[in-house]
Structure 1
Amino acid sequence: MDIYIKQAIIHQFSPDDTELHLADDFVQITPKIEEYLRKKIERVYSDEAKTGQLGAESPFLDLLTDDLLESSRKIAQVWKEEFSVSENLKTNDLIFVHFEKNGQEHLAFMRIALRENLVHSQTDSQNPYTLTQNNLPSAGSAPDEAFILNRFSFKYHLIEKRIKYNGAFLHYFSDNLLQDNPRISAKKSIKAVEQTAQKIAEKFNQDDFQFQSKVKAAIFNHLEEENALSPEKLADQLFDQNLTARLSFVDELKEVVPEPISFEEIDSSRQLKKFENQKLSLSNGIELLVPNAVYQDAEAVEFIQNDNGTYSILIKNIEDIQTK
């Protein structure tokens, strides 16, 4: 991922007085700072991010100017008004980054909750551990919340957490700050595909281990070949012999996932890894881990249903066996 950090500024929110401590200058971008910010940004382009596109009349866009310092102060103030009603407040760094990705300008706003950590001090052997405040999490962890906006297309990626207020849980970021309804994350969309497929299969008496394996293989193949999932294409593959089941699957899935599931700018590696193998647990305690390409090859694996209703699995053409 080609990311070039141009500017960064860090404000801080304190739960003690629910006030902002606004910085008045930009962060000096050292190699370590650049690496930290870049890794945090990369984690936002994940299968857990919601996606959307702000319209030209979006009130959030009114907060943006060409001056990152001015924009960050405006956004931080609006954010504070919405976030400070939460019943569980912590000290947070509010990191604003102006960066370039694939030749286009982007704005990142990341909320990072600071931690308390114990550190080892060699000056006092009786009390070697000291509690330190305001510690940053590692660079490899995802931000607690993050919003990345393409300044050209107004497309965005959002990782948000609900806050609790008066006993209710609120999506304060998308509902109040953005005033937009983003698409659910790719991760939740794929979960909806699996659940909907199983529901329809149960309705039409197709739900067995072979169908579940078929669902996993279909998801893997579509992600690998197209980096996207189409309800219609999945329906044609999963319920090819039943028109009613195909239509039911598409209709029910679109209630949850109204648009095709796209992995544009999203790292699909975690989902590909999740679905690249078929994991079978047998009633006799044996567990099998079979790559999809092998699982779908009749010359490699054959499933036989016996007359008494049990199954036999025939694994063919094994050249070598090793213990691990």
Structure 2
Amino acid sequence: MIDLYLKRVIIHQFSPNDTEILFSDDLLTLTPQLDDYFRKKISKVFSDEAKRGQFSDDNVFMSYLTDDFMETSRKIAELWKEEFVISENQKTNDLIFVQFDRDGQEYFGFLRVALKENLAHISGDSQSPIKLTQNILPSAAATPDEALLINRVSKNYYLIEKRIKHNGSFANYFSENLLQVQPEQSVKKSIKLVEDTAQKIAENFNQDDFAFQSKMKTAIFKNLEEDQELSPEKLADQLFDQNLTARLTFVDELKEAIPEPIQVQDIDHSRQTKKLESQKLSLSNGIELIVPNTIYQDAESVEFIQNPDGTYSILIKNIEDIQNK
């Protein structure tokens, strides 16, 4: 988990019944259990799901962040409610405001957590001890429903947002209306776009086979691990090294959505590298293979042979032990 130091936490609550906010007058007392819970929640925002960006000096939302933590939390809760209240699907939400340090720099955090309905055993009523309660917090491992973390020094932000439905259409109310920013798309979405674009280009140039798919996964994995970034230009050189037109087409199709290399050093991108660290092959005869990239690229460990009739053979070499799992 990312190393975080929580300083202050306050929780207000939004009720869909009267669309009002129940404001708390006191900071939350941070027990070790609560400290662990909120640090895990915040860590889920520094992830491949977050949209990122930097607030401009004249951004109106940033003017609401003052040294008065309590007043700031109340103001932003009210502003959030004004935008969220039009949503057609409302639940009871805890609005959690956090002041914390990451790597010695101060952050301001706002987490929206939808409370869950569940059965609970309530003591004191022997005839009906099992009651339905609507105030169950989700697990610490669950990503907040929405979240905004702002570096108070650099003004960089991390955003988890959900579109709300209003009058039959959906809108990113958080970024567009509340923050008035245009964030970068998430690393998760960017990688998916890179993969889809590469596959489309390969199909257009008759390169799309299992060998290209494996080459693509290996290239993305190595760039994320070694360079801590994903550059369309560098990937183009690696994936389409024999075809200048394919290289240029690949970069051109990504330049609007990914104008700069995708940086990952400031977030947890382990879920992406976990998916890419092995090649998962499904063969026409029903056999499925999972081959780690380090072995996949080693001709002394595995060899793919194309037979004269167009079929493939896979030769797995130097196996010391086989276990049935």
TM-score tier, shorter chain, comes to over 0.9
CA distance in 2: counterparts of 1:79 and 1:24, whole angstroms:
19
CA distance in 2: counterparts of 1:126 and 1:28, whole angstroms:
34
TM-score (norm 1): 0.97
Q: Tell me which amino acid in the other structure corresponds to 1:254.
A: K
2:255 alignment counterpart: 254
1:77 alignment counterpart: 78
Q: CA deviation at 1:219?
A: 0.8
1:216 alignment counterpart: 217
Please state if 1:180 is matched with 2:181: yes
Residues 251-290 of structure 1: pairs in structure 2 closer than 5 A: 251-290=252-291
Residues 15-54 of structure 1: pairs in structure 2 closer than 5 A: 15-54=16-55
Alpha-carbon contact 1:116-1:133 (below 8 Å) kept: yes
Please state if 1:323 is matched with 2:324: yes
2:204 alignment counterpart: 203
1:56 alignment counterpart: 57
Q: Kindly provide the CA deviation profile for residues 151-171 of structure 1, in whole angstroms up to 9, marking residues without a partner as x.
A: 000000000000001111010
1:149 alignment counterpart: 150
Structure 2 residue matching 1:216: 3-state secondary structure: helix
CA distance in 1: counterparts of 2:265 and 2:151, whole angstroms:
13
1:134 alignment counterpart: 135
Q: Tell me which amino acid in the other structure corresponds to 2:172.
A: H
Q: CA deviation at 1:123?
A: 6.8
Q: CA deviation at 1:37?
A: 1.0
Gaps of 5+ in 2: none
Residues 223-238 of structure 1: pairs in structure 2 closer than 5 A: 223-238=224-239
Q: CA deviation at 1:250?
A: 0.6
Q: Tell me which amino acid in the other structure corresponds to 1:161.
A: K
Q: Kindly provide the CA deviation profile for residues 117-161 of structure 1, in whole angstroms up to 9, marking residues without a partner as x.
A: 112457778755321121111111111100000000000000000
Q: CA deviation at 1:256?
A: 2.3
1:313 alignment counterpart: 314
1:112 alignment counterpart: 113
Q: Do the aligned partners of residues 232 and 76 (structure 1) sit closer, same or farther apart at CA in structure 2, a change above 3 Å counting?
A: same
Q: CA deviation at 1:253?
A: 1.5
CA distance in 1: counterparts of 2:171 and 2:16, whole angstroms:
19
CA distance in 1: counterparts of 2:251 and 2:175, whole angstroms:
27
Q: CA deviation at 1:320?
A: 1.5
Alpha-carbon contact 1:227-1:268 (below 8 Å) kept: no
Q: Kindly provide the CA deviation profile for residues 59-116 of structure 1, in whole angstroms up to 9, marking residues without a partner as x.
A: 1111110111011111111110000000001110100000011110100000000111
Q: CA deviation at 1:223?
A: 0.9
Q: Do the aligned partners of residues 125 and 70 (structure 1) sit closer, same or farther apart at CA in structure 2, a change above 3 Å counting?
A: closer
Q: CA deviation at 1:56?
A: 0.4
2:11 alignment counterpart: 10
Q: Kindly provide the CA deviation profile for residues 231-270 of structure 1, in whole angstroms up to 9, marking residues without a partner as x.
A: 1111000000001100110110123222211113210111
Q: Tell me which amino acid in the other structure corresponds to 1:112.
A: V
CA distance in 2: counterparts of 1:77 and 1:223, whole angstroms:
40
CA distance in 2: counterparts of 1:254 and 1:315, whole angstroms:
40
Structure 1 residue matching 2:214: 3-state secondary structure: helix
Alpha-carbon contact 1:51-1:185 (below 8 Å) kept: yes
Q: Do the aligned partners of residues 281 and 76 (structure 1) sit closer, same or farther apart at CA in structure 2, a change above 3 Å counting?
A: same
Alpha-carbon contact 1:3-1:101 (below 8 Å) kept: yes
CA distance in 1: counterparts of 2:45 and 2:131, whole angstroms:
33
Aligned CA RMSD, in angstroms, stands at 1.3
Structure 2 residue matching 1:188: 3-state secondary structure: helix
Structure 1 residue matching 2:184: 3-state secondary structure: coil
Structure 2 residue matching 1:9: 3-state secondary structure: strand
Structure 1 residue matching 2:147: 3-state secondary structure: strand
TM-score (norm 2): 0.97
CA distance in 2: counterparts of 1:124 and 1:148, whole angstroms:
43
Q: Tell me which amino acid in the other structure corresponds to 1:314.
A: L
Most deviating of 54-63 and 258-267:
258-267
CA distance in 2: counterparts of 1:83 and 1:122, whole angstroms:
36
CA distance in 2: counterparts of 1:23 and 1:223, whole angstroms:
43
Q: CA deviation at 1:291?
A: 0.2
CA distance in 2: counterparts of 1:199 and 1:89, whole angstroms:
40
Q: CA deviation at 1:54?
A: 0.3
Please state if 1:303 is matched with 2:298: no
